[in-house]
Amino acid sequence: MSAFEGRSTPVRMSRRYDLFRRFMILLCRILFGLKIQGMEKAPKDGPLVIAANHIQYPDPVLVCMAIPRRMQWMGKKQLYEPPYKRFFEFIGSFPVDREGGGRAGVRIALAYLAEGWALGIFPEGTHKDDGSAREAKSGAVMLAIRGGAPVLPVFVSKMPGPLARLRGERLRLIVGEPITLDKGLRGGKAYREAADDVLRTIYALPKENRKDQA
């Protein structure tokens, strides 16, 4: 059996997924003043590793709104329990057993990239509420190099509460330029250094975007 375990792999957005994505964009514009910047920078096809910061639970859905194509997420297997299992499968994700080393998850991820999918990963691992950067893990870099995919950096801001909205704060999703990694990179140290560079690029996007608009 293939790494997909018999699952179909429609790279194009289904009508139901597209409607869900458009509805969420509209809802977040109303509730949080959503602003998406750089959406046009996302490659429309071909293998792609999307690397985003992670500061709140809804981040996978928020990143999906910024990328106009189907995606697959790697998620810890503990999330795939009722009532959440069906939702995670709908947005496009598969469970990874971190305690088992995650090797099966890596095989599935590489199989998706080989089929031309976009793969979403949070280099920081778990989310961090204060918005500060964690140490980057090397999984996104390793998969991008082995899967022959560029890395697309995406910055997600914190979802503003009612008082923050009154102060004019907005939910921002910023897509950066795709990063082509050196295919010759090998070894843990090289992967970690490249992962640190990717994470710095992600957190620099808000400042760079303000410069572009000045």
- Supply the pLDDT for residue 132: 62
- Supply the pLDDT for residue 88: 87
pTM reported for the whole predicted model = 0.88
For the chain, give every domain's residue range: 15-213
User: How large is the average pLDDT for residues 183-193?
Assistant: 90
What does CATH list as the number for 15-213?
3.40.1130.10
CB 45 within 8 A of CB 37: no
Confidence category of residue 135, pLDDT binned at 50, 70, 90: confident
Distance CA 195, CA 180 (A): 12
Confidence category of residue 130, pLDDT binned at 50, 70, 90: low
CA 62 remoteness from chain centre: 9
Q: The tokens of 77 are what? A: 């297997």
| CB contact burial 9-43 (16+ within 10 A = b; e otherwise) | eeeebeeebeebbeebbeebeeebebebbbeebbe
Instruction: Tell me 179's DSSP state.
Output: B
Distance CA 20, CA 6 (A): 25
